[in-house]
Structure 1
């Protein structure tokens, strides 16, 4: 009996794996810590960060960049937990990572040194904390930083003036007494009352007067006065952070871990400058005791562009402030997927090793894209085959390119037209789960990736596929698979979706009959083209968007006068391509006039020689009469 794919995986492939790590989600911290994979590349990035963190010089900014699903949010969260060495389910974060780094003593030593510095981590997704603050507000970014800092201090971050009121009482040592007095007067805790401050003026005044010794009548509008007087500035914020740090243990650090800041500030010169100024002010006031670590889907150069817009703000300062850069690449993602999701049992490794040995000679050609298409990674030896199976290696990079290009063309739902609530790990798991009961020997095809992003796509973008599933799934299910694959590579310019390359994307078995597969694909493409779901351009086939379909349908429906078409063909063939009105015999030097014909119809005068162009399709030139290269012909 054949072995099912699910039986060769070391861990259940359908176990819960949160593909998207959220900054504010603490439900699965232990699992996230336990399952975090430190790849070789991530290890190098960590060394860079820890070297800067442990040996502070001037930079207190860290920029973690990576495409959708690359694991940047997971890395940010791990750093936040590690730096303050948080206890999770009875175990310190460092102790969990210590077991992962037994073979990397230098990195382990650097991490131990960093953890020994007392610190507090403030981890947040900037969009979630931004409330309804408009990005056009000059202080939008600062308002978010002030809010999360106030909340970390135990104050009411949603309203800065109430937070300042609480801070002032705290500085006087009166906040606890005020809370008790308010609870006695209002019959409810201050944490609830401050949310209804406008309705609680009397109780607030009574409590305030009680702890300050004043008259309640004078304190009736105490919060109104604070609202009028409270102003937020970057310098004031940095001073407040400095003041808080000074009350902590010696050398204490406060670290801000900001997720998805790149999308929030995208191409907004003012916001980018504010981020740099916040980091710089914290550095000036706190001297390396306050760090700003951010994530972005792009590297800083892509966010800033060529820097022309920043000339007045000193472009070099922005680059220098975030001097520690931690880019994550597709190799990291592939390794994480292979180690977290696709690790195999001992028996599975043996079985797949034998499968590799049997197919080794075919692997180089089976997954080789041709026709001028991009060269993508293939299986590299036995161990790589075992670790990546059932996914051909090209899929990691090509899927990343597909997602990135679709995102650039606004295909996804969401505030920033990003890829939504999925990650590459989540998508690959969906495919693995779908294949779990299939026998070992099969391969994951690229069209299956579509299901992993379906829920994140805008409805209008995937309308063609939904219609195809409804109307032609029963007629030609293979054609729907072809359509999904073409959709995924729609905007990947480096990939050429020819019949041969589509065949690679849809290769599900090593011993597939290539000729039969090619005919099947050609039939599916022809069917899709007739139904105006795709278009052909030479040897390349392209998925049609709704707008493109409308144009294509109009072109097909256009009634063209045959005489106009013939005239246009004549101009193209004889005035643009051939141009010459005579043919020269190379041996004798004689020139001969020829008749011009289009679809056997004479154009102009009749001559002994003729060139007849046949349409539609490719134009075939037939020269009749004598063989021009042979004077005896």
Structure 2
């Protein structure tokens, strides 16, 4: 008798993280290989790529979906794909082009190739994570996060905007490397460490600045304090910086911001909602399709925001007018689980096929009751039995509803814990 674990195509004890993390590249190859393109996701991909490849006016995409719909995974895959990332010696595009759904859809394959041929850089981040030290009550909280990740991408010190501006100004004058060398010589430590201790390294910073620029040391004595006092960034200034960076790249280059869980971050804060809209509009005005904003959010924003009042609904509708919608439904969760976790070997399919044939009549009545009780979803046919085994179909919906309800009552680390994370745990325990 074949052991249950032997019927699966992939090892059931392999490491699977059900929660996709924007800043985690350790499992990126596995995430690429095992990403499942359902029919709905293929449709959403085609819509997005049509807009991305043929820019007209909109430069924003709003990916929404309920728990476990895969919006964070899709966001990460788009970020990796569009910048033509090479992972463990293979390009992300090549991984996608060999997926059966892409092979069977020449239009989608062609759109992917065209999008990847556009040179670009992706900035992928979870907004709550990057905003850890920034108060949401600050009117410029959202802009501060965007400025921070942009500065870090440029190689500047994103945690302190005035230091990042100090570095940017030196860089624009071709003096940043000379400053770094002078600081290391004077302090005995690299500038990357020194800038984290800026208050303690005030004298070395001033001396290094004077040496790199040729200014008098006494004139540079308070250089960082002056930058702290003078540095103010507006949305317009941010867009100008982004445009200047893009202009320094090859012709047609794009900078794409991929922002996870933005809906939860701006929830119940009208100012943050307005800022998001303005950032998208200003980047579009300045960069003309060369700076895109792709964000994710819960499908049911009312449950995240609470009971929306009239003003909030109006503000939120204005934001959505600046973004192309891409809504994912949780009905695809069963298909993803079947194809990613429950895929069977050929021998396993044969064995389960025989089992279905023997028990077919029993399966038809197993979940149906004559006393008026609730009718549970049964196996559709032989192929459905093989794909779902060992889970009866009703368990997908029941499990999803249970996890959603538990998470809404803070049973997990976060309110919006992923359904698929818990599914991975149940899958291992059951097998």
* Bucket of the pairwise TM-score, normalised by the shorter protein: over 0.9
Provide the rounded CA distance (Å) in 1 between the counterparts of 2:372 and 2:267. 34
Q: CA deviation at 1:161?
A: 0.3
Contact 1:33 1:96 in 2 (8 A): yes
Question: Cα distance 1:90–1:357, how it changes in 2: closer, same or farther (>3 A)?
Answer: same
> Is the partner of 2:16 in helix, strand or coil?
coil
Q: CA deviation at 1:104?
A: 1.4
Provide the rounded CA distance (Å) in 1 between the counterparts of 2:48 and 2:377. 29
Question: Cα distance 1:128–1:307, how it changes in 2: closer, same or farther (>3 A)?
Answer: same
Partner residue in 1 for 2:169: 168
Q: CA RMSD in A?
A: 2.1
Contact 2:298 2:304 in 1 (8 A): no
Larger helix fraction of residues = 2
Describe the superposition over 1:47-80 as per-residue Cα deviations: whole angstroms up to 9, x where unpaired. 0110111111221111122223332211111110
Partner residue in 1 for 2:215: 214
Provide the rounded CA distance (Å) in 1 between the counterparts of 2:314 and 2:14. 53
Structure 2 residue 416 is the aligned partner of structure 1 residue 418 = yes
> Is the partner of 1:199 in helix, strand or coil?
coil
Question: Cα distance 1:405–1:427, how it changes in 2: closer, same or farther (>3 A)?
Answer: closer
Partner residue in 1 for 2:117: 116
Contact 1:23 1:125 in 2 (8 A): yes
> Is the partner of 1:412 in helix, strand or coil?
coil
> Is the partner of 1:121 in helix, strand or coil?
strand
Describe the superposition over 1:337-377 as per-residue Cα deviations: whole angstroms up to 9, x where unpaired. 11111011112111111222222233343234888877664
Partner residue in 1 for 2:422: 427
Q: Which runs of 5+ in 2 are unaligned?
A: none
Q: CA deviation at 1:164?
A: 0.5
Contact 2:66 2:300 in 1 (8 A): no
Question: Cα distance 1:370–1:259, how it changes in 2: closer, same or farther (>3 A)?
Answer: farther
Q: CA deviation at 1:317?
A: 3.1
Partner residue in 1 for 2:296: 295
Describe the superposition over 1:379-415 as per-residue Cα deviations: whole angstroms up to 9, x where unpaired. 111111100111111121222222222333333333x
Partner residue in 1 for 2:70: 71
Provide the rounded CA distance (Å) in 2 between the counterparts of 1:22 and 1:312. 32
Partner residue in 2 for 1:266: 267
Partner residue in 2 for 1:155: 156
Question: Cα distance 1:367–1:336, how it changes in 2: closer, same or farther (>3 A)?
Answer: same
Question: Cα distance 1:316–1:64, how it changes in 2: closer, same or farther (>3 A)?
Answer: closer
Describe the superposition over 1:490-516 as per-residue Cα deviations: whole angstroms up to 9, x where unpaired. xxxxxxxxxxxxxxxxxxxxxxxxxxx
Aligned pairs for 1:512-527 within 5 A = none
Aligned pairs for 1:14-413 within 5 A = 14-100=13-99, 101-299=102-300, 308-310=310-312, 313=315, 316-323=317-324, 325-368=325-368, 377-413=377-413
Describe the superposition over 1:524-574 as per-residue Cα deviations: whole angstroms up to 9, x where unpaired. xxxxxxxxxxxxxxxxxxxxxxxxxxxxxxxxxxxxxxxxxxxxxxxxxxx
Provide the rounded CA distance (Å) in 1 between the counterparts of 2:238 and 2:34. 37
Describe the superposition over 1:144-198 as per-residue Cα deviations: whole angstroms up to 9, x where unpaired. 1110000000000000000001111111111111111111111111111111111
Provide the rounded CA distance (Å) in 2 between the counterparts of 1:26 and 1:413. 22
Question: Cα distance 1:279–1:375, how it changes in 2: closer, same or farther (>3 A)?
Answer: farther
Provide the rounded CA distance (Å) in 2 between the counterparts of 1:273 and 1:376. 45
Q: CA deviation at 1:431?
A: 2.6
Provide the rounded CA distance (Å) in 2 between the counterparts of 1:373 and 1:254. 56
Contact 1:59 1:320 in 2 (8 A): no
Task: Kindly name which structure, 1 or 2, has the bigger radius of gyration based on alpha carbons.
Answer: 1
Provide the rounded CA distance (Å) in 2 between the counterparts of 1:63 and 1:10. 35
Contact 1:330 1:396 in 2 (8 A): no
Provide the rounded CA distance (Å) in 2 between the counterparts of 1:292 and 1:270. 18
Q: Which has the higher contact order (CA 8 A, sep 6+)?
A: 2
Provide the rounded CA distance (Å) in 1 between the counterparts of 2:221 and 2:370. 78
Provide the rounded CA distance (Å) in 2 between the counterparts of 1:236 and 1:272. 19
Aligned length: 428
> Is the partner of 2:295 in helix, strand or coil?
strand
> Is the partner of 2:198 in helix, strand or coil?
helix
> Is the partner of 1:156 in helix, strand or coil?
coil
Provide the rounded CA distance (Å) in 1 between the counterparts of 2:301 and 2:91. 33
Describe the superposition over 1:208-229 as per-residue Cα deviations: whole angstroms up to 9, x where unpaired. 1112211111111100000001
Question: Cα distance 1:187–1:406, how it changes in 2: closer, same or farther (>3 A)?
Answer: same
Q: CA deviation at 1:299?
A: 4.9
Question: Cα distance 1:431–1:410, how it changes in 2: closer, same or farther (>3 A)?
Answer: closer
Q: Which runs of 5+ in 1 are unaligned?
A: 437-633
